[in-house]
Amino acid sequence: MVVTAAPPRGPNNPPIIGNLYAFRSNPLQFLIKAAREYGDLVYFRLAVQHMYLVNHPDYVREILVNNQGNFLKSRALQRSKVLLGEGLLTSEGQHHLRQRRLVQPAFHRERLAGYASAMSGQAVKACERWQAGSSMDVSVEMSRLTLSVVAKTLFSADVESEASEIGEAMTAALQMFQLLVMPFSEYLIKLPLPSVRRFEKARALLNSTIYGLIRERRNSGQDTGDLLSMLLLAQDEEQDGGKKHGGGMTDTQVRDEALTLFLAGHETTANALSWTWYLLSQHPEIERRLHQEIDTVLQGRAPELADVPQLRYTEMVFSEALRLYPPAWGIGRMVKAPFELGGVEIPAKAICILSPYLIQRDARWFPEPEKFDPERWTPEARESRPKFAYFPFGGGARVCIGERFAWMEGVIVMAAIAQKWRLRLDPDQHIEPLPLITLRVKNGLRMTAEPRAANISASIRTKLPTKT
Ligand code: HEM
């Protein structure tokens, strides 16, 4: 039942465009100001679209868990079907449930073990590529690394040789995402714009690569232990009783899921790692403690799956980086039927914005919210907070399917790199977030790599008595 309730609070909405201009020019700043001024539920309009900013963990639970059936992925994400088809990220209802059942086994614990060595191997390769004292854009490096991890774990492919070509296509596809999430983009993509042509080219390249791989794998009939094999082998016992042919996925479904995992699994993790290196470079004490843990656990060898539970401080650092800079900084949901939230009636077709970036920086749940403090992630500290005060991976039926994969990748990559290198921020950079689909580092992140072994031996040498 809908309660006739208090009118929602929020900023003035100028005629016709509402707050579209302010929101589009700096969405984070707009939302932060709105929450500060109007509290836990804020109403505003973007042109004709009614928007509700939801800024309390209990409300997040209401939307993502308790009433999740009353919401659709926001229209913005639905528009990206042009790229992702009916993959997990974009599909809804029964189709989504079936696909989720089919894809889930690819993320079971036994399968993840196989992915850990790919993660470690690719991180070690990245370490070997870097030169002492040379400056690089760490966000580009992390992107290259997570791309190679997802290619290896998804397709057993080594994209290093073609990394730039596929990387280019992915970047163009991500730029297209930007276009797709704009209001009225369904019309924009019919125009002969250069960005639309670039997207078409990128999509054609991605399609030909993925369909090629599917064909090869179907012909060979091999289970290579990667995600693609799992997708091809998947049978939906529940819905189709595992009927031969009936219970699996068509090539198009496999393509949609593979491309979804490829995109969802690459950019998010790259962002999270980039922000982690930035934060570590600003907090030498925390970096030192991280090095200590890594050196003690690994004793100089490359990390593997069995090390992950021992690398607890590493995981705490990664958790804290995901708190301050959650790659999925805003999660959108469109309301199906009117409902009541915190005494306010939310109409059908309104969009609710749930922002991990805002809630995870709220002093009610995280005192001194701007402070980078991995100690917030001891088991006791976690217990003391409401569950949805921290939700970098979303929640409920649509929680990130790659969450465990991402934690494992974060910890393994951090350990492999921090064991060998210390990354120092180059001077004269103003580092700030760029909230696109994911939370990128605006203008890149230039850092210089210093070899750690050399530092250690240098510090030992300084302590040795000098020969006379
Ligand atoms: C730090 C890394 C990552 C972050 C922060 C992240 C975050 C998220 C979030 C917040 C959602 C929910 C979106 C919503 O409810 O609208 C999501 C969904 C999803 N993520 Fe991730 N993700 C990460 C890594 C990955 C990886 C590594 C993969 C795959 C290998 C992946 C695949 C997916 C898929 C397929 C979905 C859609 C699930 C569904 O709707 O059923 N993600 N992710």
Given a cut of 50, is residue 1 above it in pLDDT?
no
Q: Which atom of ligand 1 is nearest to the CA of 328?
A: 10
Distance 468 CA to ligand 1 centre (A): 62
Q: Is 10 in the pocket of ligand 1 (CB under 6 A)?
A: no
pTM attached to this predicted model: 0.91
Question: Of 170-179, 295-304, 311-320, which gets the smallest average pLDDT?
Answer: 170-179
Q: Which of 64, 102, 355, 400 to mutate to test the pocket of ligand 1 (most atoms within 8 A of CB)?
A: 400
* Span from the CA of 302 to the centroid of ligand 1 (angstroms): 27
For residue 311 and ligand 1, the question of a CB distance below 6 A is answered with no
Q: Is 356 in the pocket of ligand 1 (CB under 6 A)?
A: no
What average pLDDT does range 308-319 have in this prediction?
98
- Tokens 């009939």 belong to residue: 221
Q: With cut-offs at 50, 70 and 90, classify the pLDDT of residue 160.
A: low
pLDDT for 172? 61
Closest ligand 1 atom, residue 399 Cα: 12
Q: What is the pLDDT of residues 413-442, one digit of tens each?
A: 999 999 999 999 999 999 999 998 889 999
* Residue with CA closest to ligand 1 atom 11: 400
Query: Ligand 1 atom 23: the closest Cα is on which residue?
Result: 268
Task: Please work out whether the CB of residue 331 comes within 6 Å of at least one atom of ligand 1.
Answer: yes
Model pLDDT, residue 244: 46
Phi, psi of 179 (to 5 degrees): -65, -40
Whose C-alpha lies nearest to ligand 1, atom 6?
393
- For residue 409, which atom of ligand 1 is closest to its CA? 27
Task: State residue 2's pLDDT score.
Answer: 47
d(CA 321, CA 355): 16
Minimum-distance ligand 1 atom for the alpha carbon of 103: 35
Interatomic CA distance for residues 334 and 426, integer angstroms:
42
> What is the distance in A from the centroid of ligand 1 to the CA of 443?
25
* pLDDT, position 8: 81
**Which residue has the CA at smallest separation from atom 37 of ligand 1?**
89
398 lines ligand 1 (CB under 6 A): yes
pLDDT given at position 410: 98
Condensed to tens digits (0 to 9), the pLDDT of residues 75-116 reads 767 777 888 899 999 999 999 999 999 999 889 888 888 899
Give the confidence band of 458 by pLDDT, cuts at 50, 70, 90.
Answer: very low
